[in-house]
Structure 1
Amino acid sequence: MDTAAYASILEAATAAVKESGSIIQDSWYKPRKVTLKGRIDLVTETDVAVEEDLKRRLHSILPEATFLAEESAGNAQLSDLAWIIDPVDGTTNFAHQIPFVASSVGLWHKGRMVAGIVNAPILNECFTAARGHGSAVNGRPMQVTATDNLEHALVSTGFPYSICENVEEILHWLSKTLVTTRGVRRCGAAALDFAFVAAGRYDAFYEIGLRPWDTSAGWLLVEEAGGRVTQLDTNLPFELYSRGVLATNGSLHDTMFTLLKKD
Structure 2
Amino acid sequence: MESNEIELRYWAALAVVREAGERAADHYRRRHELDVERKGTQDLVSEADRACEDMIVGALKRLFPQDGFLGEERGVQNKDAKTVWIIDPIDGTANFLRGIPFWCVSLGLLAQGEFAIGVIYNPITDELYAARQGHGASLNGRRIEVSKVKKLDEARLAIGFSYRRPVAPHAEAVKALLDAHCEYSRLGSGALGLALTADGRLDGYWEAHINVWDVAAGLCIVKEAGGSVNDFLGEDGLRKGNAVLASTPRLYAPLKSLLKVSSPAEC
Same fold (TM over 0.5): yes
Partner of 2:178: 178
Alpha-carbon distance in 1 for matches of 2:258, 2:73:
35
Deviation track 1:112-165 (CA, whole Å, cap 9, x = no partner) reads 111111111112111100001111011111001121111111111011132xx5
Alpha-carbon distance in 2 for matches of 1:259, 1:29:
41
Specify the code of the residue in structure 2 equivalent to 1:193.
Answer: G
Q: Post-superposition shift, 1:79?
A: 3.4
Alpha-carbon distance in 2 for matches of 1:256, 1:10:
32
SS at match of 2:171: helix
The two structures, once aligned, show a CA RMSD in angstroms of 2.1
Specify the code of the residue in structure 2 equivalent to 1:151.
Answer: D
Deviation track 1:210-240 (CA, whole Å, cap 9, x = no partner) reads 11101111110011001111158xxx89954
Partner of 1:147: 149
Q: State the TM-score, normalized to the length of structure 2.
A: 0.90
Alpha-carbon distance in 2 for matches of 1:225, 1:238:
25
Q: Is the 8 A contact 1:226 1:249 kept in 2?
A: yes
For residues 11-22 of structure 1, the aligned pairs below 5 Å read 11-22=11-22
Could you say if the C-alpha distance between residues 172 and 77 of structure 1 is closer, same or farther in structure 2, counting changes exceeding 3 Å? farther
For residues 79-118 of structure 1, the aligned pairs below 5 Å read 79-118=81-120
Deviation track 1:95-128 (CA, whole Å, cap 9, x = no partner) reads 1011111111111112111111111111211110
- Which ranges in structure 1 are unaligned for 5 or more consecutive residues? none
Partner of 1:189: 189
- Which ranges in structure 2 are unaligned for 5 or more consecutive residues? 262-267
SS at match of 1:71: coil
Q: Is the 8 A contact 1:108 1:114 kept in 2?
A: yes
Identical-pair percentage:
34
Partner of 1:218: 218
Q: Post-superposition shift, 1:60?
A: 2.3
Q: Post-superposition shift, 1:181?
A: 3.5
Could you say if the C-alpha distance between residues 78 and 199 of structure 1 is closer, same or farther in structure 2, counting changes exceeding 3 Å? farther
Q: Post-superposition shift, 1:259?
A: 1.3
Q: Post-superposition shift, 1:182?
A: 4.2
- Name which of 46, 60, 63 aligns with 2:62: 60
Deviation track 1:2-40 (CA, whole Å, cap 9, x = no partner) reads 334323321121111101111111112211321111122
SS at match of 1:105: strand
Could you say if the C-alpha distance between residues 63 and 75 of structure 1 is closer, same or farther in structure 2, counting changes exceeding 3 Å? closer
Alpha-carbon distance in 1 for matches of 2:171, 2:154:
21
For residues 219-234 of structure 1, the aligned pairs below 5 Å read 219-231=219-231
Q: Could you tell which deviates more after superposition, 2-11 or 214-223?
A: 2-11
Alpha-carbon distance in 1 for matches of 2:206, 2:26:
32
